Structure 1
Amino acid sequence: MTCSPYSNISQYTNSGTNSCMVSNRISYEFDLHGPSFSVDTACSSSLYSIHLASEAIRKGDCSMAIAGGVNLMLLPITSVGFCQAGMLSPDGKCKSFDASADGYCRSEGAGVVVLKPLSRALADGDRVYAVIRGGTLTNDGRTPGIANPSYDAQLDLVEKACAAAKVHPHDIQYVEAHGTGTKVGDRTEANALGQILGRGRTKEDPPLYIGSVKSNFGHAEGAAGVAGIIKLALMISKGQIPRVVHFSSPNPDIHFDALNIKVPSTLLQWEGKGSRLAGCSSFGFGGANAHLILERPPTPDLHPAIENSGKVNANHFTRGTERETKTIMLLSGNTKAALKEQVEHWISFLSDTTAFNEDRFLQSLYTAANRYQHHAERLAMVVNGPDDAVQKLNLMARGEKLKTAVEGKVPEGAERGKMAFVFSGMGTQWWGMGRRLALEEPVFSDVMQRFEDVLKTLGADWSIADMLTKETNPDKINRTDIAQPCICAVQMGLVELMRQYDVIPDAIVGHSVGEVAAAYAAGLLSFEDAVRVIYYRGKELCKTSGHGKMLAVLHPMKEVEELVEKDENRNIINVAATNSPNQIVLSGDDNAIDSFHNKLKSRGIKCVLLKVNNAFHSYQQEQVKDSILKKLSILSASSRTTEAQIPMISTVTNQWLSSDVTNTAHYWWTNIRQQVRFMQSAEVLLRDGYSTFVEIGAHPALGPALKDIQSTSNSRTTKQNIIPTLVRPRDISSPADDRENILVATGALHVAGYPVNFSPAFEEKHRRVRDIPTYPWQRVLCNAGTETSSSRYLFPQTSHPLLGQAQETTEGTSSQKSRVWCSNLSEESVPWLQHHILDGNVVVPAAAYMETALAATSEIFADQNVLFLKNLQFKRFMFAPTSEAVIKSTLQHKTTKEKHFSLYSKDASGAWVLHATAEVHKGDLTQPVGSTNVLSNVAERCFKTISSEEIYEAAEEAGFHLGSSFHCVTSCTASDSYEEAVVTAEAPEEISREFGRYIYHPAFMDTFLHTFACLSLLNDKYTGKTPAKRVPFSMKSLCIFNKMPSNVTLYFRISKKGPRRVVDITVTDPSGLDVICEVKELMFEDIDAE
Structure 2
Amino acid sequence: MPSADAADTSTPQAGPRAVAVVGLDCAFPGAPDPAAFWRLLNGAEHAVGAPPPSRFRAGAKGAFLADADAFDPGFLGISTAEASAMDPQQRLLLQCAWRAVEDCGVPPSELAGSRTGTYVGAMSDDWARLALADPAAITPRTGTGSGRSMLANRLAYQFDLRGPSLTVDTACSSSLVAVHLACNALLTGECDLALACGVNVVIGTALDQIYQQAGLAAADGRCKPFAAEADGIGRGEGVGVVALRRLDEAVRHGDPVYAVIHGSAVNQDGRSNGIMAPHRAAQREVVTAARVRAGAEPGQIRYVEAHGTGTALGDLIEVLALDDALGARQGPRTVPLALGSVKAAIGHTEGASGMAGLVKAVLAVHNGAVPPGPPAGTENGQLGLHRRRMRLVDEPLKLAEQGPDCRVGVSSFGMGGTNAHLVLGPPPPLPPAESEGALGVFTLSADTPEALRSNLRVQAAAAARTGERDLAALCRTSNRVRAAQPCRFAAVAGTAGELAQALATAAETMPEPVAAAEEPTVAFAFTGQGAQYPGMTAALYESSPLYRGFLQDASAALLEWTGEPVHELILGGSERVHRTGLTQPALFAVEYALARTLTELGLRPSAVIGHSVGEFAAAVIAGGLELSDAARLVARRGALMEALPEGGGMLATRAREREARALAEAEPLCAVAAVNAPGATVLSGDRAGLARIREQLERSGFGCTELTVSHAFHSPLMEPVLAAFAEAADGVRAAPPRIPFHSTVRGGPLPEGTALDTAYWTAQIPATVRFEEAVSSLCAEPPTHIVEIGPKPVLCGLLRRINAARGVAALAPCRDVSSGIEQLAEVVARLYEDGLDPEWERLYAHADRRTVRMPSHVFATQWRSWQPASPAMGAALAGPAPLGAPPGRSPGERTGRSPGEQTSQAQKGAPSGARGTARPATANPQPATNGQGQPLAGIRTVVAEIIGGAPSDLHEESRFYDDLGFDSVMLMELKHRLEVRFPDLGELSLPEMLASLVSIGTLATYLRGLLTTPAAV
Within the alignment, does 1:756 sit opposite 2:838 as a pair? yes
Distance in 2 of aligned mates of 1:650 and 1:58: 59
Going from structure 1 to structure 2, the CA distance change for 1:435 and 1:103 (only over 3 Å counts) comes to: same
Residues 164-563 of structure 1 aligned to structure 2 (within 5 Å): 164-200=293-329, 205-243=334-372, 245=374, 247-250=376-379, 254=383, 256-257=385-386, 259-270=388-399, 271-272=401-402, 274-304=404-434, 325-330=438-443, 358-359=468-469, 367-368=477-478, 372=482, 376-386=486-496, 411-412=514-515, 414-458=517-561, 460-473=562-575, 476-544=576-644, 546=646, 548-552=648-652, 560-561=657-658
* Residue in structure 1 matched with residue 19 of structure 2 by the alignment: none
CA deviation vs aligned residue, 1:759-779 (integer Å, no higher than 9, x gap):
555555555555656766665
> Retained in 2: the 8 A contact 1:96–1:246?
no
Q: Which amino acid aligns with 1:215?
A: A
* Residue in structure 1 matched with residue 967 of structure 2 by the alignment: none
Going from structure 1 to structure 2, the CA distance change for 1:803 and 1:527 (only over 3 Å counts) comes to: same
> Retained in 1: the 8 A contact 2:674–2:768?
yes
- What's the offset of the Cα at 1:214? 2.2
- What's the offset of the Cα at 1:420? 3.0
Find the partner of 2:732 among 600, 617, 635: 635
- What's the offset of the Cα at 1:736? 0.7
- What's the offset of the Cα at 1:698? 1.0
For structure 1, which segment, 293-302 or 817-826, has the greater mean C-alpha deviation from structure 2 after superposition?
817-826
Q: Which amino acid aligns with 2:824?
A: I
* Residue in structure 1 matched with residue 896 of structure 2 by the alignment: 808
CA deviation vs aligned residue, 1:401-447 (integer Å, no higher than 9, x gap):
xxxxxx66664353443233332222221221111222343332233
For structure 1, which segment, 366-375 or 210-219, has the greater mean C-alpha deviation from structure 2 after superposition?
366-375
> Retained in 2: the 8 A contact 1:42–1:221?
yes
Distance in 1 of aligned mates of 2:928 and 2:547: 79
CA deviation vs aligned residue, 1:615-652 (integer Å, no higher than 9, x gap):
4445544433332332233333xx679x84x6655555
Pick the structure with more strand per residue: 1
Q: Which amino acid aligns with 2:282?
A: A
CA deviation vs aligned residue, 1:587-613 (integer Å, no higher than 9, x gap):
555455544444444444466554434
Find the partner of 2:809 among 721, 730, 752: 721
Q: Which amino acid aligns with 2:820?
A: D
> Retained in 1: the 8 A contact 2:170–2:418?
yes
- What's the offset of the Cα at 1:737? 3.4
Going from structure 1 to structure 2, the CA distance change for 1:880 and 1:614 (only over 3 Å counts) comes to: closer
Residues 58-97 of structure 1 aligned to structure 2 (within 5 Å): 58-74=187-203, 88-97=217-226
- What's the offset of the Cα at 1:232? 0.7
Within the alignment, does 1:692 sit opposite 2:780 as a pair? no
Find the partner of 2:666 among 550, 569, 572: 569
Going from structure 1 to structure 2, the CA distance change for 1:679 and 1:290 (only over 3 Å counts) comes to: farther
* Residue in structure 1 matched with residue 818 of structure 2 by the alignment: 736
Going from structure 1 to structure 2, the CA distance change for 1:373 and 1:100 (only over 3 Å counts) comes to: farther
Q: Which amino acid aligns with 1:380?
A: A
- What's the offset of the Cα at 1:578? 4.9
- What's the offset of the Cα at 1:49? 3.6
CA deviation vs aligned residue, 1:839-877 (integer Å, no higher than 9, x gap):
95899xxxxxxxxxxxxxxxxxxxxxxxxxxxxxxxxx9
> Retained in 2: the 8 A contact 1:500–1:760?
yes
Going from structure 1 to structure 2, the CA distance change for 1:712 and 1:76 (only over 3 Å counts) comes to: farther
Determine helix, strand or coil for the equivalent of 1:808. coil
- What's the offset of the Cα at 1:575? 5.1
- What's the offset of the Cα at 1:167? 1.6
* Residue in structure 2 matched with residue 1075 of structure 1 by the alignment: none
Residues 818-857 of structure 1 aligned to structure 2 (within 5 Å): none
Within the alignment, does 1:131 sit opposite 2:251 as a pair? no
Distance in 1 of aligned mates of 2:141 and 2:633: 60
> Retained in 1: the 8 A contact 2:439–2:471?
no
Going from structure 1 to structure 2, the CA distance change for 1:324 and 1:97 (only over 3 Å counts) comes to: closer
Going from structure 1 to structure 2, the CA distance change for 1:226 and 1:819 (only over 3 Å counts) comes to: closer
Distance in 2 of aligned mates of 1:107 and 1:44: 14
Distance in 1 of aligned mates of 2:174 and 2:920: 39
> Retained in 2: the 8 A contact 1:135–1:165?
yes
Determine helix, strand or coil for the equivalent of 2:490. strand
Q: Which amino acid aligns with 1:228?
A: G
CA deviation vs aligned residue, 1:76-107 (integer Å, no higher than 9, x gap):
56656666666544422122233444443333
Determine helix, strand or coil for the equivalent of 1:433. coil
Determine helix, strand or coil for the equivalent of 2:896. strand
Within the alignment, does 1:909 sit opposite 2:991 as a pair? no
TM-score w.r.t. length of structure 2: 0.67
Determine helix, strand or coil for the equivalent of 2:410. strand
* Residue in structure 2 matched with residue 701 of structure 1 by the alignment: 794
- What's the offset of the Cα at 1:137? 3.3
Which structure is larger by alpha-carbon Rg, 1 or 2?
1
| Alignment root-mean-square deviation, CA | 4.7
Going from structure 1 to structure 2, the CA distance change for 1:77 and 1:529 (only over 3 Å counts) comes to: farther
Residues 1-20 of structure 1 aligned to structure 2 (within 5 Å): none
Q: Which amino acid aligns with 1:630?
A: E
| Structure 1, unaligned runs of 5 or more | 306-322, 400-406, 729-734, 811-816, 844-876, 886-905, 916-1090
* Residue in structure 2 matched with residue 661 of structure 1 by the alignment: 755
Residues 755-774 of structure 1 aligned to structure 2 (within 5 Å): 755-758=837-840, 762-765=844-847
Distance in 1 of aligned mates of 2:920 and 2:511: 44
Q: State the number of aligned residues.
A: 801
Going from structure 1 to structure 2, the CA distance change for 1:446 and 1:334 (only over 3 Å counts) comes to: same
> Retained in 2: the 8 A contact 1:191–1:255?
no
Determine helix, strand or coil for the equivalent of 1:635. coil
Determine helix, strand or coil for the equivalent of 2:784. strand
Higher relative contact order (CA 8 A, sep 6+): 2
Going from structure 1 to structure 2, the CA distance change for 1:199 and 1:380 (only over 3 Å counts) comes to: same
Paired-residue identity, %: 29
Going from structure 1 to structure 2, the CA distance change for 1:836 and 1:463 (only over 3 Å counts) comes to: closer
Distance in 1 of aligned mates of 2:632 and 2:319: 79
- What's the offset of the Cα at 1:685? 5.1
Determine helix, strand or coil for the equivalent of 1:807. coil
> Retained in 2: the 8 A contact 1:135–1:292?
yes
Determine helix, strand or coil for the equivalent of 1:634. coil
TM-score w.r.t. length of structure 1: 0.63
